[in-house]
Structure 1
C-alpha cells in the first residue's frame, strides 16, 4: 500500500515548479502524493493530512517568508490530533546567508526535516524512506504493484 504524503506551497507563495518536480519524483518513488498546489493555508495542509490519512506533510516556500507562514503550524497539526512527519524546504528566509541557522530555526518550530532550495528530490525521498521506515524493497514493490 503506497504511503501518502501531502505537498504544497504555503502562504502567499505562488512558485509551482519545485513542487511539480517533487510531486513527479515522489510518485515515481512509489508514494501517493496529494499536491495542494500554491498559496496553501495551514488549515488546508491540516485538512488534507487528516482526510488522506497522510504520514508526512511537505511544505514548500520559495519567496523567503516561510517563517511567518509556518508560525503555529505544528500547533494546528497537534490540535487536529495528527502525528505526521513534517518537512519544509526552499528559499525559506529573505537574505538567507547561513542555512544552518535557518535550519535550526525551523527545527525549533517543530519541523523534522529542513531543506534548502538546492536540495535534490532524491535526498528528500531518501529521508522519507528513512523516517517512514520504508525499505527500498518495499518502495520498489509499491511502485510495481501501484
Structure 2
C-alpha cells in the first residue's frame, strides 16, 4: 500500500472517532496535507506532513506508516510522529490553559437571591418615583 485516503488514515490513527467525522473536519479546512488544504479523498503517503487543527491547538505530524484498519491506540501511535515545534507549542498552550483563571471564579456572589432581588426592586421603585 503506497497511498491511502486522508480521512481513512486519520480515522485509523485515532485522530477522529469516525471516518465521516474526519471527512467533515477535512471539509471545514481543519486538516492540511503538506501545507495545502485537503479533501477527504486526498491520498497521503509515508513522509507527508499533516496538520490537524482541534480546539485552539494545531498538531503537526509526519506520516510514518499507512494503515486502513483502526487498531488499538499503541499501534495507532506508530503511524505518525509529532514534530518537535508542534509538541512544544501544544505543551505551552496546555500550560497557559492550566495557569489561566476559571471564568466562573470572577463571579463573587453568583446569582441574586430572592431577598436581593426584592431589595433591587425596592431601590428601582425609589428612583422611579
Question: Shared fold (TM-score greater than 0.5)?
Answer: no
Q: Which has the higher contact order (CA 8 A, sep 6+)?
A: 1
Calculate the TM-score normalised by the size of structure 1: 0.26
Q: Tell me the TM-score normalised to structure 2 length.
A: 0.28
Query: Which of the two has higher C-alpha Rg?
Result: 2
